[in-house]
Amino acid sequence: MSVAKLLGLVCTLAFALMGGGRAEDSAGLQNARRHLLDPNVNVLTFHTVEQLFPTSRVETSGKAWVLPRAESKLDFTYVHDGKTRAADEVLARTYTNALVIIKHGKIVFETYRNLTDDKSHFISFSMAKSITSMLIGIAVAKGAIHSLDDQITMYVPELKHSAYDGVTLRNALHMRSGANYTEEYVSQNPDLLATAFEESFVEQRTRFVDFARVMTRAYPPGEHFNYSTFESCVLGWVLERATHQSLTRFMTEQLWKPAGMESYGVWMLDGPVGVGREFAGGGFNAVARDYARIGLIMLRNGRAGEREVVPQEWVKESTRPALREPADPSDPIFSYNDQWWPVVGSQAFMARGLQGQSIFVDPETETVIVKLSYFPPGNSAAATETFDFLKAASRWEPGPPARR
């Protein structure tokens, strides 16, 4: 029996003892969860998480931060693979569910496809990592976290004797824990990520982040970049311990309500409310315009309207150009810092999620673009074309507002 499977059995027992034992979900529902990423159904599953998984709501104050509008037609082109295309071709070519473009603080374009609208809640996947980073910055400013140089085990002693023993929060924010782990979504052989998702979110027998307890070390902390969803989930665990409340509660009171988000947010849970933990590395869901507000907060150095909701210094640190060396030699476009993706050779930066979820922010052009997609797994061509579109959309200066 593998170490991961052994841990799963131990966690299953612990789950039952703390009240998680309950009637199992049907095989049909479990199978639907299992196929969340599949290209035949992801056009729907990516905006129906509340119907598939246990969730918790990040509530809004009810008083929304109003985004003014100056809607225009997509009257520009982008170049991909040597061919010039009309901007609106990107919608079908890159599997788009929703697209929102903001220029100089105003919505200049907004569209929804595939039975979605402005009230649909779309999954973020790894854009959740960037949101978790914002929450870490807030917790540091409020003194709940003393320092980014604190060791993770200071907050989560359960990770002693694992790969995270001796790792600082700063190491984890930069994806440099040194844990021996490979992030794979398309694989013929079930790996740790696949096993953890199956046992935590499909069958709901374990805690997802508990699998970090069995990880061994491949590199000294701080030396080697290795992208890992578990890194962000560990940071979510730190937030829970440091703030003495759930991620949902902390985010509600410290980010979502103060920012004036227009709709509630949703965290996927690895178990029922009161037992399950939020999937900090990839399980947040929100309406498209609230993702745009996240981008605007980062564009405006932490401010939502006149109110600072994320510390200005945290925003600057997360996106500063000084760190814009490629994080991975195989991907020269992006750097990585504090769970955000600065664009090499540019002031722009992104939150990026699996299968085409994007918040693109360009301070030079005062542009925020949210694109929520349903790429087939492993479709790098759609990702490349999307980025070509985002660059062109950032340079675009819209004409007079379109008449309805």
Q: What is the pLDDT of residues 311-337, one digit of tens each?
A: 999 999 998 866 678 988 888 899 999
What is the model's pLDDT at position 11?
Answer: 46
Question: Hey, is 152 helix, strand or coil?
Answer: helix
What is the model's pLDDT at position 185?
Answer: 67
User: How does DSSP assign 217-234, residue by residue?
Assistant: BSS-TTS-----HHHHHH
323's CB contacts (< 8 A; 6+ apart) are: 335, 337, 342
Q: What is the mean pLDDT of residues 356-384?
A: 97
Distance CA 347, CA 370 (A): 17
Count of alpha carbons within 13 angstroms of residue 122, beta-carbon side: 36
What structural domains and CATH numbers belong to the chain? 3-18+50-395 (3.40.710.10)
Q: What is the mean pLDDT of residues 175-197?
A: 82
Instruction: Name the residue with higher pLDDT: 186 or 232.
Output: 232
Angle between helices 127-141 and 312-319 (to 10 degrees): 140
Count of alpha carbons within 13 angstroms of residue 330, beta-carbon side: 4
Distance CA 38, CA 376 (A): 7
What is the model's pLDDT at position 359?
Answer: 98
What is the model's pLDDT at position 189?
Answer: 55
Q: Among 99-103, 112-116, 191-195, whose mean pLDDT is lowest? A: 191-195
What is the model's pLDDT at position 1?
Answer: 44
What is the model's pLDDT at position 165?
Answer: 97
Q: Among 115-124, 188-197, 282-291, whose mean pLDDT is lowest? A: 188-197
What is the model's pLDDT at position 190?
Answer: 56
Instruction: Name the residue with higher pLDDT: 23 or 115.
Output: 115
Q: Is the pLDDT of residue 127 over 60?
A: yes
Q: Among 67-76, 187-196, 207-216, whose mean pLDDT is lowest? A: 187-196
Share of the chain above pLDDT 70, in %: 91
- Alpha-carbon Rg for the chain, nearest whole angstrom, is 20
Residues facing residue 296 across a β-bridge: none
